[in-house]
Structure 1
Amino acid sequence: MGLSQRSRRYAPIALLGVAGIALAGCGAPGGSTGGGGGGGGDNTVTIYGTIVEGEAELLAESWSDFEKENDITIKYEGSQDFETQLGTRAQGGNPPDIAIFPQPGLFADYAARDFLKPAPDAVEANAKKYWTQGWVDFGTYKDEFYGAPLMASVKGWVWYSPKKFAEWGVQEPTSWDELLTLTKTIQEKSGTAPWCAGFESGVATGWPGTDWIEDLVLRNAGADVYDQWVKNEVPFTDPQIKEAFDATGELLLNPDYVNAGFGDVRSINSTAFGDVAPKVASGECALTHQASFLSGFFPDGTDISEDGDVWAFLLPSKSEDETFITGGGEIVGAFSDDEATQKVLEYLSSPEWADKRLALGGVTSANKGVDIEAVENPILQESIKLLQDDSVTFRFDGSDQMPGAVGSGTFWKGMVAWINGTSTDEVLTQIETGWPSS
């Protein structure tokens, strides 16, 4: 689920109205012409998603010109309780016109239950032209295309202060062993814990821990094992998955290495994931692991550059010759097929919309038609290049592909229990119990 999520992967979550945005309860009376949603008029399109607060304001700004040019009013509502509320509204016959899904698994579930309308031809054409096949597949169910991607993020960045690295005489590592050596060196030279981490995210607490495990499964066990793992063909109790937990534990369960600026190991669970950013910028925390969207959490005026206040490197892999990345993103699906909704869907699948949103800052896109040079943040620029590079091994966030009972259920809860001291074997067994029996 940064800065764009928008529920769990991108930005702080809150259930509230957003200043400057017309919010419409998707279950409200009325509806757009021919649609299945809770619109407010013939040219009103309702959108429901997990994007909240300042990010929701930027989302509204990104389509404001489109609204004027097409005489369409877009009413957006963001909620931290997206999964539950969307299900209630869909089953009650009052869904939004459009939903922005943060999880491909959840998107596929709604397509499988015939809640979603197949995407317009123009949307499918945009997806096939501007995204890789993997992204197109996320919006496809049983050979029918239901929705195009929206934004994206690259996970696995390790953020640090170049000034502090220079002070300690250390460099970016290129292997896991070098990362462990770097951690030990910083601890010895600084006399403080090098790493800070935050797993707190409201009802989604625990998801930042799943990102650690996903990164290390992909990097150490490889793409085939990763793909089998997200389908439960390789269970959580498999030694290859335990290895990822053990590697993460070398850092996050070591009281000498965490939790800089916040407390002990257990303070990770009570530390909001975005709160680590100011600690890195100030040099109080030497290292933190978080996605590209963390760039939006640094204090105003923070210089994000190789010689600036903050920079980042990708979590090292076993192989220095191959680049592995995990990432997240949203898929746009529609409950309505009226004309206004189709126009909005086409616009949101276009590079023109993506350029508008990228220019506002804090997010990335896998859309190959975007103007990368318009993105000022160099880490976001690099993230976009990685997403578009066919030589990079990319996999979508694993927990987002798993059934909700696991991905946003036992996996999240398991990470919290693990940080609180429950043994790895017990946690892995507990997570595995979340998988449906069939």
Structure 2
Amino acid sequence: MSRRTSRYTNRGTSRTQSALRVFLAACLLAVTAGACADGRERTLVVLGPWTGEEGEAFEAFEAMLSKLDDGTGQTYTYQGTRSLRETLVAQLEAGAPPDVAILNSVGELTEYARANRLKPLPAAAAARAYPPWAPPLVVDGTRRTYWVPLKVDLKSLVWSREGRSAAAPEWCVGLASQATSGWPGTDWIEDILLHQAGPDVYTRWATGRLSWRDPRVREAWTTWADLLGDRSKASVDQSLTTSYLGTPDPAAEAGAVPRGLLGSLAPRCTHEHQSAFIRYVYADDRVRADPSAGFLRGRAAHDGAYEVAGDMAAVFSGNPAARTLVERLSGRTARTLWRSEAKEELRPFFPDATDPQPTDPTGRRIAGILTEKARTLCFDASDVMPPVLRDAFHRAVLRYFGKPTGARLDELLGQLDAVREDAAPETGTGTGRLPASGVCAPPGG
């Protein structure tokens, strides 16, 4: 989730990919003449969200992946970008999609599948599509699996420095994230609703089957405002412009890892609501991660429910080797290689409890929650929603945070309801939504 740019980005721009596709098309027409003798037709392009430190972790994995070659000479090029949706849409419109894309939005993946942009996965990969990360879809009357999780994360967490009391937390908030600013706030509201109203209500809301003006949804918003408490204009402005990663230490060298919000905004704040991925920022600090349920004014009956997210691989090209690649990426051998090559604090969480998990103390604790403690896992609600509704949710959170009044909230919820209705396949322009059965599930694997 780092904002820094991976060195893979420079060698994987859409212009380069388009040129490669043109070259390959010429190869297909002139194959008998040996036009592809240099082997470039065997390179598969993988588009993904990992840049900076995470990109470096995947770079090591990609290098090791080449050793899985079965004699075909297959090679791979990875393009990491923080503007994943925009890059993918541009490539699809240009007729030059990547062979494989790794996305965290099942709402987007659902739209692509029902628009026949995705290729169904082979049985071996489909068997690893653990719920709730990769539910099967019915497309053109046939039930198939179109994506599989490569790595997963736990979102229902609160971070604090050791020794800080949980009795009266002062919350660190950073809502800035380039084009997707606002998602740290949507994570708050989603987590609160899950623990106050439970998985069933959460699922109906996430899939567009419950009004945004429902009192339980409204209560999640007002609870968030109450938890944050009164804030000065200067504090609000700071949160709206501060990255969710915090800021680098002024004394550190250029390009240093940010200090996280606990290091950037302290001592004015003591606790942070953030996903498990943030552990690499706090790798050298005495920072503790606890389940968020005890902080959110929820019901004890829902303490065993946790919000999760994931990075899913899907096939966008007709090249059979792309399906084979996804099968390899989701397999135990590849996961073992990825874990061994990544820095300890960047070792991924996998959905199967039998797969290798992180070994650092914080990582082990989080993995234990994911695979042993949790009774129900619910996929990030905004990533379940159609992209147009997700983006509207992000913007609404920013507006509400700036002015958390009842009148402002009523206005925003009404606007979100209008977007929901327009995105619904039954009444509006939407291309489909995820089935209710695909949002929450017991831990799989």
Which of the numbers 18, 24, 38 marks the counterpart of 1:27?
Answer: 18
| Equivalences, count | 381
2:364 alignment partner in structure 1: 381
Change (3 A) 1:138 1:419: farther
Corresponding letter in the other structure for 2:245: G
Shift of 1:417: 0.3
| Separation of aligned partners in 1, 2:323 and 2:58 | 18
1:108-163, CA deviations, whole angstroms, 9 ceiling, x for partnerless residues?
11111111111122212343xxx3x4334167755111121111110121111113
Change (3 A) 1:293 1:32: farther
1:202-223, CA deviations, whole angstroms, 9 ceiling, x for partnerless residues?
0000000000000011100111
Corresponding letter in the other structure for 1:387: L
1:195-239, CA deviations, whole angstroms, 9 ceiling, x for partnerless residues?
211110000000000000000111001111011101222111111
Which of the numbers 82, 89, 104 marks the counterpart of 1:102?
Answer: 104
2:432 alignment partner in structure 1: none
1:378-429, CA deviations, whole angstroms, 9 ceiling, x for partnerless residues?
332233233334852110000011111111x210000000111152222222
Question: Does the 8 Å CA contact 2:8/2:80 hold for their aligned counterparts?
Answer: no
Q: Does 1:334 pair with 2:325?
A: no
Question: Does the 8 Å CA contact 1:266/1:419 hold for their aligned counterparts?
Answer: no
Instruction: Please list, as runs of the form range in 1=range in 2, the aligned pairs for 1:25-424 lying within 5 A after superposition.
Output: 25=14, 26-30=17-21, 41-70=40-69, 71-127=73-129, 131=130, 133-137=131-135, 143-163=143-163, 165=164, 170=165, 172=166, 182-183=167-168, 194-255=170-231, 263-275=234-246, 277-280=259-262, 284=267, 285-298=269-282, 301-302=284-285, 309-316=286-293, 317-319=298-300, 322-359=303-340, 360=342, 361-362=345-346, 363-372=348-357, 375-389=358-372, 392-407=375-390, 409-421=391-403, 423-424=408-409
Percent identity, aligned pairs only, is 24
| Separation of aligned partners in 1, 2:360 and 2:410 | 41
Q: TM-score, normalised by structure 2?
A: 0.78
Corresponding letter in the other structure for 1:292: A
Specify every segment of 5 or more residues in structure 2 that has no aligned partner in the other structure, as ranges.
29-38, 248-258, 429-445
Change (3 A) 1:122 1:22: farther
Specify every segment of 5 or more residues in structure 1 that has no aligned partner in the other structure, as ranges.
1-10, 173-181, 187-193, 303-308
| Separation of aligned partners in 2, 1:76 and 1:140 | 30
| Separation of aligned partners in 1, 2:150 and 2:173 | 28
| Separation of aligned partners in 2, 1:289 and 1:243 | 18
Corresponding letter in the other structure for 1:272: S
Shift of 1:271: 1.0
| Separation of aligned partners in 2, 1:345 and 1:75 | 14
Q: TM-score, normalised by structure 1?
A: 0.79
Shift of 1:355: 2.8
Greater displacement, 395-404 / 82-91: 82-91
| Separation of aligned partners in 1, 2:301 and 2:144 | 38
Shift of 1:281: 5.0
Change (3 A) 1:13 1:139: farther
Question: Does the 8 Å CA contact 1:63/1:353 hold for their aligned counterparts?
Answer: no
Change (3 A) 1:332 1:125: same
| Separation of aligned partners in 1, 2:44 and 2:137 | 21
Shift of 1:51: 1.8
| Separation of aligned partners in 2, 1:208 and 1:20 | 25
Change (3 A) 1:69 1:225: closer
1:43-85, CA deviations, whole angstroms, 9 ceiling, x for partnerless residues?
2110112222221121121131221341332111122332123
Question: Does the 8 Å CA contact 1:27/1:96 hold for their aligned counterparts?
Answer: no
**Other structure's SS at 1:368 match:** coil
Change (3 A) 1:222 1:122: same
| Separation of aligned partners in 2, 1:321 and 1:328 | 18
Question: Does the 8 Å CA contact 1:150/1:348 hold for their aligned counterparts?
Answer: yes
Change (3 A) 1:23 1:85: closer
- Kindly report the root-mean-square deviation, in angstroms, between the aligned alpha carbons of the 2 structures: 2.8
2:35 alignment partner in structure 1: none
1:6 alignment partner in structure 2: none
**Other structure's SS at 2:19 match:** coil
Corresponding letter in the other structure for 2:383: D
